[in-house]
């Protein structure tokens, strides 16, 4: 309680510590001591259409393109895309996860980096992937990340959104949860972000098995 008798305000954890706890305590499921990024990275109905979609996009280029996967998680999805790229750079904030991935997945055109994408400089690539990552972050961190995306040519963004109408971009504390509990979802084109792109296309909508239901939507932004 504060001096005036009100409720103590909730102090946010550092994002790195919050995400480390997610994997240490298997808060997204999986067996104890296993790195598991949740059903959104494993359920066939969710990942198979996504992998097919992104594969087709990557194959649409005459020459293979470089990809930066921000928030790669346990890499169950990313591992299916490497062979369609010239270089695949996978990034996550959880260092033990990156160490694990580096040991488990080894290919000549694949590299892993442990970075805080809201604070650290991002690797250089032509295509950036953010798959159900921003939905776990505060508006301040999202704003910081979006400012760095102008260096990429294309953004493939996937977000878990409520069905029907909703008020976008309600702020949250970074961590395990998303805006769904607030009947909100992320729309980077709307305030306070107002992300500018040359073109935006919605490529895929999947009804989720998540307890909060909603739709998992993937969009393509042409940035340059």
Nearest to 128 by CA among 36, 223, 33: 223
Residues 90-137 have pLDDT tens digits of 999 999 999 999 999 999 999 999 999 999 999 999 999 999 999 999
CB 81 within 8 A of CB 54: yes
Residues 200-210 have pLDDT tens digits of 999 999 986 65
Domain 15-222 class, CATH top level: alpha beta
User: Is the link from the previous residue into 192 a cis peptide, with omega within 30 of 0?
Assistant: yes
Q: How many CA atoms lie less than 13 Å away from 69 in the CB half-sphere?
A: 24
Query: Can you say how many angstroms the Cα of residue 140 is from the centroid of all Cα atoms in its chain?
Result: 16
Q: How many CA atoms lie less than 13 Å away from 181 in the CB half-sphere?
A: 8
**Block means of pLDDT (10 residues each) for the chain, length 224 residues?**
44 71 77 80 93 98 98 96 98 94 96 96 98 96 97 97 94 91 96 97 84 86 97
């Amino acid at each position: 309680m504060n001096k005036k008798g009100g409720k103590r305000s909730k102090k946010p954890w550092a994002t790195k510590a919050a995400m480390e706890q997610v994997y240490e305590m298997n808060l997204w499921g999986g067996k104890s001591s296993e790195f598991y990024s949740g059903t959104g990275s494993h359920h066939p109905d969710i990942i198979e259409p996504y992998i097919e979609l992104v594969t087709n996009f990557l194959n649409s280029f005459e020459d293979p393109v470089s990809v930066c996967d921000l928030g790669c998680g346990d890499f169950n999805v990313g591992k299916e895309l490497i062979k369609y790229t010239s270089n695949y750079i996978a990034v996550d904030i959880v260092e033990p996860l990156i160490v694990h991935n580096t040991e488990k997945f080894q290919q000549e055109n694949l590299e892993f980096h442990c970075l805080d994408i809201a604070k650290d400089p991002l690797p250089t690539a032509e295509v950036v992937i953010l798959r159900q990552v921003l939905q776990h972050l505060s508006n301040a961190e999202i704003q910081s990340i979006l400012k760095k995306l102008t260096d990429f040519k294309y953004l493939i963004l996937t977000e878990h959104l409520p069905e029907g109408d909703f008020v976008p971009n309600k702020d949250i504390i970074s961590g395990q949860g998303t805006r769904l509990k607030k009947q909100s979802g992320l729309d980077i084109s709307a305030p306070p972000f107002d992300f500018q792109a040359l073109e935006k296309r919605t490529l895929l909508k999947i009804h989720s098995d998540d307890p909060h239901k909603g739709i998992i939507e993937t969009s393509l932004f042409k940035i340059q």
